[in-house]
């Protein structure tokens, strides 16, 4: 038993400085698996690159790991950026909203389930010349966070996004992490299919729920 205890603590010590999710392949794991890696195996650091977007949001808003490292050359800072905000039927009498965030790729209406197009809708678009470009822009993040904070009390938001992992992290940290003490009671994130017309799936992944 003592040997197992020593071995377990050695493994946790090694894992503490190891970044989880290395490798150039898709990291499609359950939240339970990430929780086990963090709380039991002792991982403090986790990469969000090549992780499904709904899981990126969930890991950050639940503060699962102490650190989510990013290599600067992977997401270089972009100084010049135009952010377009489009709103449809948004007012303070609504409590459920569709939030579309266009970042690395455009999002077409036909990709989103019709039910969510008929809700009050906010669409934020970052100007880009090249599809797939993964720059980091603070203005883009701040605009999104501001729109989230302007929503009325007890709001539910449904997110359809093509954000790069660093933007996702900053949006989750600045705009949603404090949702337990703010105006948001539920956050649903929708995963985009990886082939064909890249439709967003009908099934929502709930990352915050305090209803």
Which pTM was predicted?
Answer: 0.92
Minimum mean pLDDT range among 47-56, 64-73, 119-128, 129-138 = 129-138
Q: In the predicted model, is pLDDT for residue 110 greater than 90?
A: yes
pLDDT of amino acid 172: 96
Report the sign of the C-alpha dihedral through residues 146, 147, 150, 151, in that order: negative
Q: In the predicted model, is pLDDT for residue 175 greater than 60?
A: yes
- In the numeric block, the tokens 């880009």 are attached to 128
Alpha helices in 49-113 (DSSP H): 53-61
> Two tokens at 27?
């990291």
What number of other Cβ atoms are within 10 A of residue 122's Cβ? 20
Q: In the predicted model, is pLDDT for residue 4 greater than 80?
A: no
Smallest CA-to-CA distance from 109 within 88, 82, 132, 135 is with: 88
Q: Are 198 and 132 in contact (CB under 8 A)?
A: no
> Two tokens at 35?
């929780």
Q: In the predicted model, is pLDDT for residue 180 greater than 60?
A: no
Q: In the predicted model, is pLDDT for residue 45 greater than 80?
A: yes
Q: In the predicted model, is pLDDT for residue 144 greater than 90?
A: yes
CA distance 152 to 155: 6
pLDDT band at 49 (very low <50, low <70, confident <90, very high): very high
What value does the mean pLDDT take over residues 75-88? 85
pLDDT of amino acid 79: 74
pLDDT of amino acid 73: 80
pLDDT band at 135 (very low <50, low <70, confident <90, very high): confident
pLDDT band at 177 (very low <50, low <70, confident <90, very high): confident
pLDDT of amino acid 131: 67
Coil, strand or helix at 179: helix
pLDDT band at 61 (very low <50, low <70, confident <90, very high): very high
Per-chain mean pLDDT for the chain = 91
What value does the mean pLDDT take over residues 21-38? 95
């Amino acid at each position: 038993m003592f040997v197992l205890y020593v071995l377990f603590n050695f493994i946790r010590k090694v894992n503490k400085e190891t970044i989880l999710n290395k490798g150039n392949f898709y990291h499609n794991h359950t939240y339970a698996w990430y929780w086990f890696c963090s709380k039991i195996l002792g991982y403090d650091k986790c990469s969000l690159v090549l992780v499904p977007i709904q899981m990126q949001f969930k890991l950050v808003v639940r503060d699962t790991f102490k650190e989510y490292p990013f290599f600067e050359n992977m997401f270089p800072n972009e100084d010049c950026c135009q952010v377009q905000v489009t709103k449809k039927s948004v007012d303070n009498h609504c409590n459920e909203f569709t939030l579309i965030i266009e970042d690395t790729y455009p999002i077409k209406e036909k990709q989103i389930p019709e039910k969510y197009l008929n809700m009050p809708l906010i669409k934020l678009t970052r100007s880009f010349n090249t599809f797939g470009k993964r720059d980091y822009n603070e203005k883009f993040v701040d605009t999104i966070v501001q729109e989230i904070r302007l929503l009325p009390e007890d709001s539910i938001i449904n997110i359809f996004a093509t954000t790069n992992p660093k933007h996702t992290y900053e949006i989750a940290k600045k705009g949603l992490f404090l949702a337990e003490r703010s105006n948001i009671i539920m956050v649903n994130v929708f995963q985009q299919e990886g082939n064909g017309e890249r439709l967003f799936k009908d099934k929502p992944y709930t990352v915050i729920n305090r209803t």
